[in-house]
Amino acid sequence: MKKIEKLMVANRGEIALRVMRSAREMGIKTVAIYSEADRQALHVRYADEAVCVGPPASSASYLRADVILDVCKRLGVDAIHPGYGFLSENAGFAQQVQEAGITFIGPSPEAIELMGSKLAAKAAVAQYNIPMVPGTEYAITDIEEAKVIATNIGFPILIKASAGGGGKGMRVVERVSEFEEQMQLAVSEATSAFGDGSVFIEKYIGSPRHIEIQVLGDTHGNIVHLFERECSIQRRHQKVIEEAPSAVLTPELRDQMGRCAVDVAKACNYVGAGTVEFLLDENLNFYFLEMNTRLQVEHPVTEQITGLDLVKEQILVAQGAPLSFAQEDLTINGHALELRVYAEDPTNNFLPDIGTLTTYKRPQGLGVRVDDGFEEGMEIPIYYDPMIAKLVTFGKDRQEAIDKMIRAIDEYQITGIETTLPFGRFVMEHEAFRSGNFDTKFINRYFQDPSVLKPSPAPEEEEIAAVLAALFAGKAKKTTFTPSAAAVTPTGGMSDWRKNRMK
């Protein structure tokens, strides 16, 4: 087994710190890279060595493969962990790393490239009879031919432009009588936007759940799955809250999806940690969506329910070690939740709210984990993803994990910027989430009035000011103060006035 002595983390923030901590426990020295905007970042101070790789913009720093490899050569780095984002799913970078004689902690360049193409990925897994969303396997422009295909698939169907994305050239068709008109509109829009009017047709899954399966493979042909994660609470198609296990999967369905995920990994000879993503419809039918060939942001919830350190497992696999466990050795223990704490304003369409962490105090206690890369007084850079931290809670069951999450959100003190913490509390207390009866349209369906997160209006402050004035005037005995209903927060146990004074 080839022992890794010095590891570079080609990333930043909380994931860089998270990888470095596991590496340190394994006796591996670490190298951090940073942009000029991250000069004082925690991952820079934690690493054994750190090198600036360029200006703040990621294109001039964290995405500069040539500079990163040059640093590796100069410092004698023998392995690179890419984290997630940036160059983590760049097949060309993985190839360059290998050619430089450096171990890439991840799958092969071939696997990254294959799974990076949705059409190629579907073709590769077809031999394993993986359930797919019914639809065409090729682009089409002929309306009559398309209508026949759509009818065979069954309405509602989705028409999608083959040459682009962003919702352009995309139409949901509910019934056959609408098909011709919607097809013409989709073709016209696709032609206008991309210069190509060809489209794909597939079954429309209106309210799916997003379920993903964690897989792990070694260089000896062993591949296992580490159960599922529920990732259906999303804004702008990006996850905000994840949990493991899912509230709706039966043991039989879990086994089915797990076996399919392993087959997907086999289709590309997968090595390392990866995630196979599925859509689950209202009838609990599941369909292969794609594979992410890297560690996921939400991997901590899997670690909590399995007791495994996925980063350590990645490193061991990269060193050539076989997996130390088989599928039958793995069991689910308890329940875990993760809230991505973003510097975003949920009451303003989740738009970024960049600024300084005037107050930053983490929650603590049994069953609470915070993965972050910031401390009080630091600024959230405008150049990167606005995620501040991942707040993770773990309990013996789902209800206990939810209770711990609510407590942790209340303890988490952040001022200077707006965050997704209040939204997280809203979700934890919502009946749809508590019952498990939700899907990817949770925000559209239940968060139409973001004012529910706004602090109570200020009248109670005026009332309190009147009482204080009376006290100073020596009239306290004649004044009786009864707080308004808005001043009392039953769930928090404290008025907004008092909370604001404590910040």
Task: Please tell me the distance from the alpha carbon of residue 201 to that of residue 336, in angstroms, as a whole number.
Answer: 37
pLDDT in tens, 232-291: 999 988 999 999 999 999 999 999 999 999 999 999 999 999 999 999 999 999 999 899
Around 240, how many Cα atoms within 13 Å sit in the side-chain half-sphere? 26
What pLDDT is recorded for position 199?
Answer: 85
Which single residue is written with the structure tokens 């002929």?
142
pLDDT band at 75 (very low <50, low <70, confident <90, very high): very high
Tally Cβ neighbours within 10 Å of residue 57: 14
Q: What is the mean pLDDT of the segment spanning 388-406?
A: 98
SS3 track for 85-139: CCCCCCHHHHHHHHHCCCEECCCCHHHHHHHHCHHHHHHHHHHHCCCCCCECCCC
Q: What is the percentage of the chain residues whose pLDDT exceeds 90?
A: 75
Give the amino acid at 445: R
Q: Between these two residues, 473 and 363, which has the higher pLDDT value?
A: 363
Q: Which helix (H) or strand (E) holds 424?
A: helix 421-429
| Owner of token pair 């026949």 | 148
Residues annotated as catalytic (active site), given as ranges: 294
Structure confidence at residue 137 (pLDDT): 77
Find the range with the poorest average confidence among 157-171, 278-292, 316-330: 157-171
**Lowest-confidence pick of 13-22, 156-165, 271-280, 487-496:** 487-496
Lowest mean pLDDT: which of 180-194, 237-251, 336-350, 473-487? 473-487
pLDDT at 166: 53
Statement: residue 491 has pLDDT above 60 = no
The answer to whether residue 330 scores a pLDDT higher than 90 is yes
pLDDT of residue 58: 96
DSSP string, 7-44: EEE-S-HHHHHHHHHHHHHTT-EEEEEEEGGGTT-HHH
pLDDT tens by residue, 337-387: 999 999 999 999 999 998 999 999 999 999 999 999 999 999 999 999 999
Q: Which residues pair with 338 in a beta bridge?
A: 242, 392
pLDDT at position 157 over 70: yes
Q: What is the pTM of this model?
A: 0.84
In angstroms, the CA 317 to CA 106 distance is: 9
